[in-house]
Amino acid sequence: MMRHSWLLSLSVIGILVSCCYSYEYDEYLNKTEILYKDSVFGAAAYTPLTVGLTIIQGAASRGAVCLDGTLPGYHLHRGYGSGANSWLIQLEGGGWCNTVRSCVYRKKTRRGSLNYMEKQLVFSGILSNKAEENPDFFNWNRVKLRYCDGASFAGDSEDKAAGLQFRGERIWWAAMEDLKAKGMRYANQALLSGCSAGGLASILKCDDFRGLFSSRTKVKCLSDGGLFLNAVDVSGGRTLRNMFGGVVKLQGVGKNLPRTCTNHLDPTTCFFPENLIANIQTPMFLLNAAYDSWQVTASLAPPSADPHGYWTACKANYAHCSTSQIQFLQRFREHMVNVVQRFSRSPKNGLFINSCFAHCQSERQDTWFSDNSPLIGNKGIALAVGDWYFDRAGCKAIDCPYPCDKTCHNLVFR
């Protein structure tokens, strides 16, 4: 049987100044995520916050179920003090599934079934409960909504023959109703965030999130590592567009995409953030690495586009890229900078595009807020987001091109 073109597993190590991260990369699930090891936090000296899983019991009556028909869930850590009526909703990432085969595979993982989800998750970075790690949001109600649909919480369809439920849109609404009943309806401040596929979801759902609250509530959105580009790969094709096309068609995503886009563009094109961000009415902050490590690996130079492996060393370690490969990556950065120009003109929006080889920087403590966090100018990510959210200062930060930034926590794959 021919191996699926997106099936590839490799382990990844993040090479940092003072910490060591282990990463998991699996193209079949299309994800890059942290596997926290004791060495990350120093288990003897520090125990990170872990938060238990809450199952959304009322979801079944709405047909809001994971790929395999099990119930969805979230992790909630309650706020207190000045943050008791403030809510931060983090949409979990974890790639997509674009074929029946890949979705059948996915439904037997934590990205498709309650049965395989971790019952406890680490809350770090923007989800941390410590002021010294998360100065602006540490005492808010902080929620991690689990991702088990494979279409960035946007699908609504099914494949009965394959036993697949594509109900991301319903999961989104069921979760929001459940959280409103637990006090979110009374929020005076709210922030919707997400990483990777969750970052794309935070873009798709931003204005819907605003609509959950009264006009008196301060509502904004943050997309981390979610600015997926409709870019040409190293073979001249469009790997990610083909992937997104499968997701949109299989999972019935088109009817749930913003009408401001679908009234003049096809649904697959409207699944790309570059065609959505300028029309979002709610204040939005885009946090993204200019040389997004997931996009370099899975969109620009996947094995299907590089069958002879010319890009293997470069993808694993940017220091091994040739001059022509760096030039190709610089054009990708230019594409990203160009697509945010109109978005950045609005005073309500924020930007932090750093010239790093990274992906998802708000959930990792070392990149979110630490002694050696990445900087643009003299400002780190947590301070930039906090200044923007609380209107202390604007932030429209776009880094100079590689290799000028010496503060990056670049990922090195092996």
**Catalytic member of 75, 77, 359, 409:** 359
- Mark residue 309 as left, alpha or beta (left: phi above 0; alpha: psi -120 to 50; beta: remaining): left
Structure tokens at 169: 């849109």
Task: Transcribe 295-338 into DSSP letters.
Answer: HIIIIIS-TTT-TT-TTHHHHH-GGG--HHHHHHHHHHHHHHHH
Q: Would you say 290 and 333 are in contact if contact means Cβ atoms under 8 Å apart?
A: yes
Phi and psi angles of residue 173, each rounded to the nearest 5 degrees, phi first: -70, -35
**Catalytic member of 102, 196, 299, 344:** 196
363 to each of 33, 95, 328, 396, 409, how far by Cα in Å?
10, 16, 29, 21, 13
Spatial separation of the C-alpha atoms in residues 81 and 67, rounded to whole Å = 38
HSE of 389, CA atoms in CB hemisphere, 13 A:
25
- The SS3 assignment for 23 reads strand
Tell me how many degrees the CA angle 230-233-239 measures, rounded to the nearest 5.
Answer: 65
In the residue annotation, 322 being an active-site residue is answered as no
In the residue annotation, 292 being an active-site residue is answered as yes
**Catalytic member of 292, 344, 366, 370:** 292
In the residue annotation, 196 being an active-site residue is answered as yes
297 to each of 9, 239, 388, how far by Cα in Å?
12, 11, 31
Active site residues: 196, 292, 359
